[in-house]
């Protein structure tokens, strides 16, 4: 037997039901907010991710599916969605005219991590990116979209919010932080981060590191006037919509091109607070990837996490579709014609094998169908079908010529 690769999983049955539901809701909301679909390749030049996600990050350092293809190109399976979409924006020269583009995407991402519960090597995200919009109203709008999506999915969440400052104020804060971190006791990862990426020390999971961070300088106290004003406006917009949020000093995104708004949606529906979506502004990424400087803001939702939350709740798929069958195989050709007509409007499961009525009924029940239609000798003589509604248990004979109207 050939099995799937470690850390890779088939999405089928109950998972597939939820996967489709999540993507459908996300798509609907995104379209209503003026976003359109973009589908970028799974495979890109490795340097795209090295430059955007950053060589110092664990993702690029340890977790990328990176290889040399037959043309000697260094390529990687995408570990996240934003870099490819930014590359597409620049490649189409939209950056030159500072075009406003709102795109959404969904699909597989790949990280060569140690597989563990809730962490796969191929996982799925839904994300949106908006380019060319400077206004903080757009940041607020993305948060409102996530609220709408999680409300429609009936998932409880908390919103964490922070501002990471801009090119004006972030370097000064960074220096204050470096001075503060100049003491012993931090873990090895943090010692490395202190040099490469000091802000990343703030979200270290190590308890000892966290205790050393008491009294640390806080980004929000060090914002320039403009960043402060925009961050206050963002909070006002959310308050006006009665959206609760919590300010989180340690919500950071370690890379230089992230700026201003950062937000995260967490849910405690699967045990400890788990991140279910995250996003923020990344105005400098376009420039970082070789484009003309512009504006960018986006978010991504982890689909597997959402599936896990929804699966804990009661799974009850409504009965749907038609089960069409016969007691004798000589009627199957006739049924095939009937199915062809019904399938223009209805989902039809045509059973080709003749069986006793009770067997067919049990089958239809197992397949969770709603309508049962069967042809036996009596029905064939009368150009009819035996009808049973498996929800209401109603039974009757239906004339074939008028079938479409009677269903
Ligand atoms: Zn600033
Ligand atoms: Zn640490």
Task: Outline which parts of the chain fall under CATH 3.30.930.10.
Answer: 13-169+223-312
CA 155 to chain centre: 14
**Token pair 């929804």 in the structure block, residue:** 310
| Separation of CA 169 and ligand 1 centre (Å) | 4
| Separation of CA 261 and ligand 2 centre (Å) | 24
| Separation of CA 294 and ligand 1 centre (Å) | 16
Nearest listed ligand to the Cα of residue 173:
1
Q: Which residues of 69-81 are buried (b: 16+ CB within 10 A; e: fewer)?
A: eeeeeebbbbbbb
295 with 99: CB under 8 angstroms? no
What are the strands of the beta sheet with 74-77, ordered from one edge?
A: 43-45, 74-77, 66-68
Determine if the pTM surpasses 0.75: yes
Q: Which residues contact 353 (CB under 8 A, 6 or more apart)?
A: 329
Task: Outline which parts of the chain fall under CATH 3.40.50.800.
Answer: 322-406
| Separation of CA 203 and ligand 2 centre (Å) | 8
**Token pair 């589908």 in the structure block, residue:** 39
pLDDT tens for 201-256 read: 888 888 999 999 988 999 999 999 999 999 999 999 999 999 999 999 999 875 66
Return the pLDDT at 78: 96
Q: What percent of the chain has pLDDT over 90?
A: 76
Q: Between the ranges 119-123, 269-273, 277-281, where is the mean pLDDT highest? A: 277-281
Q: Which residues contact 247 (CB under 8 A, 6 or more apart)?
A: 160, 161, 162, 220
Tell me the pLDDT band of 54, cut-offs 50, 70 and 90.
confident
Return the pLDDT at 338: 95
| Separation of CA 114 and ligand 2 centre (Å) | 20
Return the pLDDT at 40: 98
Cα angle 275-82-94, degrees, rounded to a multiple of 5:
145
| CA 305/CA 126 separation, integer angstroms | 12
Q: What percent of the chain has pLDDT over 70?
A: 98
CA dihedral 98, 99, 105, 111 (to 10 degrees): -20
DSSP string, 89-139: HHHTTTTTTT--EEEEEEEEEE--PPPBTTB-SEEEEEEEEEES---HHHH
Return the pLDDT at 191: 87
| Separation of CA 85 and ligand 2 centre (Å) | 32
Assigned fold of 322-406: Rossmann fold (3.40.50)
| CA 320/CA 326 separation, integer angstroms | 20
Return the pLDDT at 56: 67
Q: Domain 13-169+223-312: give its CATH code.
A: 3.30.930.10
Q: How far apart are the first and last CA of the chain?
A: 45
Report the candidate in 145, 125, 94, 123 with the shortest Cα–Cα distance to residue 296.
94
| Separation of CA 28 and ligand 1 centre (Å) | 35
Nearest listed ligand to the Cα of residue 202:
2
44 with 73: CB under 8 angstroms? no
| Separation of CA 197 and ligand 2 centre (Å) | 12
Return the pLDDT at 302: 95
Helix (H, G, I), strand (E, B) or coil at 270: coil
| Separation of CA 247 and ligand 2 centre (Å) | 22
Return the pLDDT at 63: 87
Tell me the pLDDT band of 404, cut-offs 50, 70 and 90.
confident
| Separation of CA 117 and ligand 1 centre (Å) | 39
pLDDT tens for 184-205 read: 888 988 888 888 888 888 888 8
Per-residue pLDDT, averaged over 305-332, amounts to 89
| Separation of CA 251 and ligand 1 centre (Å) | 17
260 with 230: CB under 8 angstroms? yes
pLDDT tens for 151-173 read: 999 999 999 999 999 989 988 99
Pick from 154-163, 279-288, 315-324: least confident = 315-324
Q: Is 224 exposed, middle or buried (0-12, 13-18, 19+ CB in 10 A)?
A: middle
Tell me the pLDDT band of 279, cut-offs 50, 70 and 90.
very high
Nearest listed ligand to the Cα of residue 200:
2
Per-residue pLDDT, averaged over 23-49, amounts to 97
Return the pLDDT at 351: 95
Return the pLDDT at 80: 93
Return the pLDDT at 118: 66
Helix, strand, coil abundance in the chain, percent, nearest 5: 40, 20, 40
| CA 84/CA 92 separation, integer angstroms | 12
| CA 203/CA 252 separation, integer angstroms | 7
| Separation of CA 293 and ligand 2 centre (Å) | 34
| Separation of CA 210 and ligand 1 centre (Å) | 26
| Separation of CA 57 and ligand 2 centre (Å) | 14
Q: Which residues contact 167 (CB under 8 A, 6 or more apart)?
A: 259, 284
């Amino acid at each position: 037997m050939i099995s799937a690769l470690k850390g890779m999983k088939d999405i089928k049955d109950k998972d597939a039901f939820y996967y489709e539901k999540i993507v459908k809701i996300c798509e609907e909301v995104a379209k209503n907010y003026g976003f359109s679909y973009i589908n970028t390749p799974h495979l890109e030049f490795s340097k795209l991710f090295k430059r955007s996600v950053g060589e110092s990050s664990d993702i690029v350092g340890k977790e990328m599916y990176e290889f040399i293809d037959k043309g000697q190109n260094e390529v990687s399976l995408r570990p996240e969605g934003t870099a490819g979409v930014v590359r597409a924006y620049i490649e189409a020269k939209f950056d030159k005219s500072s075009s406003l583009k709102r795109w959404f995407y969904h699909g597989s991402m790949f990280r060569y991590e140690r597989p563990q519960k809730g962490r796969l090597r191929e996982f799925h995200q839904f994300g949106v990116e908006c380019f060319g919009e400077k206004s903080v109203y757009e940041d607020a709008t993305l948060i409102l979209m996530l609220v709408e999506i999680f409300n429609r999915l009936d998932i409880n969440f908390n919103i964490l919010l922070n501002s990471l400052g801009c090119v004006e104020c972030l370097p000064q804060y960074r220096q204050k932080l470096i001075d503060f971190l100049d003491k012993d006791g931090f873990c090895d990862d943090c010692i490395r981060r202190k040099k490469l990426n000091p802000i990343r020390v703030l979200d270290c999971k190590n308890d000892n590191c966290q205790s050393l961070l008491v009294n640390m300088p806080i980004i929000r106290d060090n914002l320039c006037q403009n960043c402060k004003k925009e961050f206050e406006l963002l909070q006002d917009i959310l308050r006006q919509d009665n959206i609760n949020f919590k300010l989180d000093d340690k919500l950071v995104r370690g890379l230089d091109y992230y700026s201003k708004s950062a937000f995260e949606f967490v849910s405690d529906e699967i045990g400890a607070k788990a991140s279910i979506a995250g996003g923020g502004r990344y105005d400098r990424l376009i420039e970082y990837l070789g484009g003309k400087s512009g504006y960018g803001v986006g978010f991504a939702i982890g689909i597997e996490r959402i599936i896990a939350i929804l699966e804990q709740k009661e799974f009850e798929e409504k009965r749907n579709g038609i089960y069409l069958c016969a007691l004798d195989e000589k009627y199957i050709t006739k049924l095939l014609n009937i199915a062809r007509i019904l399938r223009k409007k209805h989902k039809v499961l045509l059973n080709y094998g003749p069986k006793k009525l009770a067997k067919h009924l049990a089958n239809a029940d197992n397949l969770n169908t709603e309508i049962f239609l069967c042809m036996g000798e009596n029905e064939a003589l009368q150009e009819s079908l035996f009808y049973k509604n498996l929800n209401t248990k109603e039974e009757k004979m239906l004339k074939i010529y008028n079938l479409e109207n009677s269903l």
